[in-house]
Structure 1
Amino acid sequence: MSLKKATYQNINYCLRCGSKLELKADHENKIRPQCSNCGWKFYKNPIPASTCIILNKAKELLIIKRKFEPESGKWALPSGYVEIDQNPEDTAQAEMLEETGLEGKVIEFLGYYPDFSPLYEKVITFGFLMEITGGRLQAGDDASEACYVPLAEIQDLAFASHNYFVSKIKEKIVSE
């Protein structure tokens, strides 16, 4: 898979001292925005995200309709960006509750998927198989709808990473 190259278009000033940044080679000979005043370097790293695979007893997949951009109005898995005070598993549990009204716990890490984001360029999405432990199904937060759909009927979800994790769970169910 080929991801687009980072452009560094949005950062012009040092986050530590406020001085103007300059594009310079670092110790690895990689061009990065750097502060000539305090020496701080800006590393444009991928943004971590978590997504939830939630199946009911009939092996139907829980999906949500996105309320906001990116991909507003499209179907997706419950997901969100990892906050600075969370690990990916915490994020999966929080997004499950926020977007579906269901409480849950991680039962299996399904892997990760490097993806492109129109907001952050590169995102690394961690996929988790979740178990429902409580709550009541209702769309919330940035979801306008939440419903179960038979796995065989899942077509094209909003993000490549979501389609990847759906294919992984389909393979897992077939092999069981």
Structure 2
Amino acid sequence: MECAACGYAVFVNPRPTGTAIIFDDAGRFLVIRRARPPQQGWWDLPGGFCDGWEHPSDAAVREAREELGVEIDLGAFVGSWIGTYEFQDEPLPVLDCFWLARLAPGTTGITLDPAEGTEHAWVPLSDPPPLAFSTMESAIREVRQSSGRLVP
């Protein structure tokens, strides 16, 4: 896009995110119920937008700390997908990046940030709930179809 008044070029590039698909020892993954729009009330994966020059993998770790009160250990990179995030009724492009993860050794429990999530659950990979964003559905499908290539 270009400003009609001054000719300044504005690029509407996707904003990167980092998301962790956190597995437990039973092979279930963690979902949290969104506390705010967009998609309030839907199941979500812990993650969020990168800060400044932050790498998406670092954002995934930071977001788990902020949203869940836990440290995580990242595993394999699952993939990245272009998606849409509705912000103030404006559809914005995002580049959602996903990693497998586990809770760090010694983690004793999850403490949800009430501004981020209202509840959490561990769900089987074979029967995931509907998720807040299509890119999350794609990432879970990729893990499910990886035939063991992607393991937490």
Q: Per the shorter chain, which TM-score range? A: 0.7 to 0.9
Task: Give the letter for the 1:117 counterpart.
Answer: Y
Pair 1:125-2:99 in alignment? no
Matches within 5 A, 1:140-159: 140=113, 141-159=115-133
Q: CA deviation at 1:90?
A: 0.8
Segments of structure 1 that go 5 or more residues without pairing to the other structure are 1-31
1:44 match: 12
What secondary structure, in the 3-state scheme, does the structure 1 residue paired with 2:100 have? strand
Task: Give the letter for the 2:60 counterpart.
Answer: A
Contact 1:110 1:128 in 2 (8 A): yes
Q: Which structure has the larger Rg?
A: 1
Matches within 5 A, 1:26-175: 32-34=1-3, 40-119=8-87, 120-133=91-104, 134-135=106-107, 136-140=109-113, 141-172=115-146, 174=148
Distance 2:38 2:5 in 1: 36
Q: CA deviation at 1:35?
A: 7.2
Distance 1:80 1:35 in 2: 33
Higher-RCO chain (CA-CA 8 Å, sequence separation at least 6):
2
Q: CA deviation at 1:36?
A: 5.7
- Post-superposition Cα deviations, 1:30-83, rounded to whole Å, max 9, x if no partner, equal xx223765x642111111112111110100010000000000011011121111
Segments of structure 2 that go 5 or more residues without pairing to the other structure are none
What secondary structure, in the 3-state scheme, does the structure 2 residue paired with 1:172 have? coil
Q: CA deviation at 1:123?
A: 0.9
1:14 match: none
| Change in CA separation of 1:173 and 1:146 when aligned onto 2, cut-off 3 Å | farther
Task: Give the letter for the 2:130 counterpart.
Answer: D
Task: List structure 1 segments (4+ residues) > 6 angstroms apart after TM superposition.
Answer: none
Q: CA deviation at 1:174?
A: 4.8
Task: Give the letter for the 2:102 counterpart.
Answer: E
* Identity %, equivalent residues: 26
